[in-house]
């Protein structure tokens, strides 16, 4: 049975008790909804993979309450600490060597010598972490291969009956997962573009982010077709073809669309932050309307455009199944 509750103080206290007993709670963060379990208990973490139908044990992000907790889990080098100061709490995940004092279980780290940590900024996530008093392992709260959820209703569509509780904190503001930077190699590497733009990170670091060196350790979030709606997406469209709906940006395609064509515009004013916030909800909207073919307008590759285009390319990649 899955209870869905507005995320008030009583519901958060109940959620914390569920997590401490090894249960699963979906909760809002400022990026997307997370599917949380006690990160220190392998059997609780195992339930996450089961609920998501995840084909493999890829490593999960450990959400922590504060910097002390992050440093107990991960050996954060000096440049990582500068990013932490600039972006935490917030939509940045740091992968670093696991600290000897760490409590995140092997399963949540998929047996790797590293750990991914993040302090979320969302008040519900923060209250939950404070109440649990342990790191919470949480991938995005969707079935494996589906689009990440940005509302409690999206979570319920995918996971109702598979999690103990869904904390409803409204729609998540960023709408796109966190940016992941690894400090496990000689130079910092961008493992996943996300809600913090690459340029902002490079500015603080004073150097360019490298491409990941060991792509094979990356999980389903990094496989080509991971963010897959049912609709077929045709990227970089300049015109609409017969029978297509449109995922627009800045009104480019709408201007050429015939009357009656279904158009969702990620941002009519061409704002990339607004576009990121709308992306996953709009992909779900096409599926809800059983639309089979969607033409997608060009989205510029700057700022959050890098992460938006990354998700769009994955969503349009040939399916493995
Ligand atoms: O915004 C977000 O990051 C959301 C919210 C809930 O925090 N979480 C999320 O988790 O997107 P998930 O599991 O869908 O994506 C986590 C990514 C995966 O691609 C995983 O492979 C990578 O983080 N990751 C985690 N630990 C890692 C590690 N030790 N080394 C390399 N990659 C790691
Ligand atoms: Mg995910």
Specify the pTM.
Answer: 0.87
pLDDT in tens, the chain (321 residues): 899 999 999 999 999 999 999 999 999 999 999 999 999 998 899 889 889 987 667 899 999 999 999 999 999 999 999 999 999 999 999 999 999 999 999 889 988 899 999 999 999 999 999 999 999 999 999 998 889 999 999 999 999 999 999 999 999 999 999 999 999 988 999 999 999 999 999 999 999 999 876 544 455 455 555 667 889 999 999 999 999 999 999 999 999 888 899 999 999 999 998 898 889 889 989 999 999 999 999 999 988 899 899 889 988 887 654
Residues with Cβ–ion distance below 5 A, ligand 2: 140, 221
Placement of tokens 């494996």 in the chain = 144
Spatial separation of the C-alpha atoms in residues 287 and 232, rounded to whole Å: 10
Q: In this structure, what token pair is assigned to residue 9?
A: 């103080």
Residues 6+ apart with CB under 8 A from 288: none
Residue 204 DSSP SS3: helix
Phi, psi angles (nearest 5°) of residue 136: -110, 120
Pairing mode of beta strands 61-63, 114-118: parallel
Q: Quick one: which atom of ligand 1 is closest to the CA of 192?
A: 19
CA atoms within 13 A of residue 41's CA, in its CB half-sphere? 15
Spatial separation of the C-alpha atoms in residues 41 and 20, rounded to whole Å: 9
Residue 129 DSSP SS3: helix
Which ligand is nearest the CA of 33, by number?
1
Residues 6+ apart with CB under 8 A from 9: 127
Report the separation in Å between the CA atom of 144 and the middle of ligand 2, taken as the mean of its atom positions.
Answer: 7
Spatial separation of the C-alpha atoms in residues 228 and 207, rounded to whole Å: 33
Spatial separation of the C-alpha atoms in residues 149 and 268, rounded to whole Å: 22
Which ligand is nearest the CA of 311, by number?
2
Q: Which domains does the chain have, with CATH numbers?
A: 3-218 (3.90.870.10), 232-316 (3.40.50.11030)
Among protein residues, the one with the nearest Cα to ligand 1's atom 33 is: 59
Q: What is the CA radius of gyration of the chain?
A: 19
**Would you say the CB of residue 58 lies under 6 angstroms from ligand 1?**
yes
């Amino acid at each position: 049975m899955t209870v869905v509750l507005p995320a008030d103080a009583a519901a958060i206290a109940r959620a914390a008790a569920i997590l401490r007993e090894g249960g699963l709670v979906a909760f809002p963060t400022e990026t997307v909804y997370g599917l949380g379990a006690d990160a220190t208990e392998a059997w609780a973490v195992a339930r996450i993979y089961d609920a998501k139908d995840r084909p493999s044990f890829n490593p999960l992000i450990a959400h922590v309450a504060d910097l002390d907790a992050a440093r107990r889990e991960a050996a954060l080098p000096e440049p990582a600490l500068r990013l932490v100061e600039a972006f935490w709490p917030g939509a940045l995940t740091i992968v670093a060597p696991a600290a000897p004092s760490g409590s995140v279980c092997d399963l949540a780290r998929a047996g790797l010598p590293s750990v991914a940590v993040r302090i979320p900024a969302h008040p519900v996530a923060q209250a939950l972490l404070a109440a649990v008093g342990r790191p919470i392992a949480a991938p995005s709260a969707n079935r494996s291969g589906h689009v990440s959820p940005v509302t409690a209703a999206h979570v319920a569509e995918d996971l109702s009956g598979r999690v103990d509780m869904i904390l409803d904190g409204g729609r998540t503001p960023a709408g796109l997962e966190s940016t992941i930077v690894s400090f496990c190699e000689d130079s910092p590497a961008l493992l996943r573009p996300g809600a913090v733009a690459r340029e902002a990170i490079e500015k603080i670091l004073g150097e360019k982010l490298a491409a990941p060196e060991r792509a094979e350790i990356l999980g389903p979030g990094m496989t080509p077709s991971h963010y897959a709606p049912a609709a077929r997406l045709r990227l970089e469209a300049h015109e609409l073809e017969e029978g297509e709906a449109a995922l627009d940006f800045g009104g480019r395609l709408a201007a050429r669309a015939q009357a009656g064509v279904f158009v969702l515009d990620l941002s009519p004013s061409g704002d990339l932050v607004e576009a990121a916030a709308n992306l996953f909800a709009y992909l779900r909207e096409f599926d809800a309307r059983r639309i089979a073919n969607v033409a997608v307008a060009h989205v510029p590759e700057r700022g959050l455009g890098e992460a938006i285009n990354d998700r769009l390319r994955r969503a349009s990649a040939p399916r493995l199944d």
